[in-house]
Amino acid sequence: MKLKLFLIIALLSTCTSADSNDFTKWVQGGNVSGNAKYYYIRTEKDQTSGDTASFANSIGGTLNYTTDSYKGINAGLTFMTTQPFALPSSVDSSIIGKDNGAHGNNAKKEFSVLGEAYISFENSNYKAWVGRKVLKTPLINPKEVRMLPSTVGGADASTSFDNGTALSLGYLIDFKQRTSSDFDNIIEHALGANTRSITGSTNGYVVPISLTWKNKNYTALLYDNYAPDFINSIYGDVTYKGAIDSSLKYSVALQGIAQDSIGNAKKNLKSLGSITGAKEIQTRMYGLKGTLGYKQSKFVLAYSNVKGDNNVHDSLVLPWDGTPLFTNMITANNLFQSIYGSALKADSAYIGGTQGFKIVYSQNYGFAGYKNFSSSLSSAYFKNSDFADTQRDYNAVISYKTKVVSVALKAIWVYNNSGSKADGTISQYDMLRQYRIIANYKF
């Protein structure tokens, strides 16, 4: 916190020391942007305890103001809101305040929050920001396809080189989940009431480091999220893109993840009576993906394997909305592992011992004179020797999109939906059906 305040004061001092005319231009020459979104969601579950159904309507979005650049320095603010209406007695709060509910507040109530407030610097080789900001990496993701994005608090700096290499280093101390009006300490958000018993403290921080390289055909990414006394997470992938001719393109990709509890967490999780059943975190995962694009059609095949080991906590730990797996589906993507205190839970493809298989066919209809229309059909299977039944996911999406307007109709069917608790106990229920209408206007 002291570091963040120091950097903010230093950058503000630089701006305010400028000529008054320059400062006026810096503020008045800024840009206003944002989006207005309508979201409808209905979720139906068939369970042994009885069938349930819930839905919600909400209108919301973001309003962003970014100053003009003065010697490479900018400042930005983003106001975020979700305003539910016409709610039934049984509410699906996943587009409203589900994370607020995990804090003991009303999950069905509207909220507004200053989601971003940052100062940034950029020139031809360097970028830096400090404050609150949307951050998108494989391990920390804003989930922009939901009602509002998740954001982090801290600082980050990066530099790029002429050979296509870029290096970044950050310091993150806060996290605001997409269905929350509050910024939590980033480690407390992950572990909730178990933070002290696992890490020895009530708060902590994450140091994200990335190294990326890109040329005409290859892209390589390497990320390390280091959280002292909690976990070290390493993610890497390599992608090759090629083309046989102008209408036939393809790509192949390989990914891997390694996670280990470190420091106090390594010791405390191995203790008898710990939340994980005396098991330290040790996860290993790899995945493969191939894509083939022909004119306005695209096919994707993906495979993921989270290695199983009954002697450790082998499920992936992604408490900050990370969705890195090539086999992610609309629902089977650890959507609620980022809920306050739920870091050690997991679902479907992310559970230790699970192999995932996914196929996608997407189509744009420009050839028929409807260039703004597209559709996508996805199917995935998640197998695990600890599952009573194989999980099967089917997704169908129809979309209309221009530069400023988009509308998506989504239908989801999940058979034998699978989840695991922190101690590795796995549960399944028969069927989940979900339907969504999402309309978005950008300005």
pLDDT for 122 equals 94
pLDDT for 49 equals 75
Instruction: Label residues 297-324 b or e (16+ Cβ within 10 Å = b).
Output: ebebebbbbbebeeebbbbbbbbbbbbb
Neighbouring CB atoms inside 10 A of 128's CB total 21
List the structure tokens of 67. 């100053």
pLDDT for 25 equals 76
List the structure tokens of 297. 């059609």
Provide the pairing of β-strand 207-214 with 184-185: unpaired
pLDDT for 312 equals 97
pLDDT for 12 equals 55
List the structure tokens of 327. 């086999």
pLDDT for 48 equals 73
Cβ neighbors of 290 (< 8 A, separation 6 or more) are 250, 251, 252, 253, 300, 301, 302
Question: Token match 């699970």: residue?
Answer: 354
Q: Where are the beta strands (DSSP E) in 384-404?
A: 391-401
- DSSP alpha helices (H): ranges in 30-105? 98-102
Q: How far is it, in rounded angstroms, from Cα 221 to Cα 255?
A: 9
CATH number at 192 reads 2.40.160.10
Q: Which residues constitute the domain of residue 54?
A: 2-442
Q: How far is it, in rounded angstroms, from Cα 112 to Cα 131?
A: 18
Instruction: Give pLDDT < 50 ranges for the chain.
Output: 3-4, 6-7, 10
Strand partners, 407: 400, 439
pLDDT for 51 equals 77
Q: How far is it, in rounded angstroms, from Cα 275 to Cα 337?
A: 15
**Segment 376-389, tens digit of pLDDT:** 999 999 999 999 99
Give CA separation, 33 vs 63, 230, 404, in Å.
6, 38, 11
**Segment 41-79, tens digit of pLDDT:** 999 999 777 778 999 999 999 999 999 999 999 999 999
Element (H, E) at 230: none
pLDDT for 14 equals 53
List the structure tokens of 224. 């390390």
Q: Name the domain count of the chain.
A: 1
Q: How far is it, in rounded angstroms, from Cα 304 to Cα 254?
A: 10
pLDDT for 115 equals 97
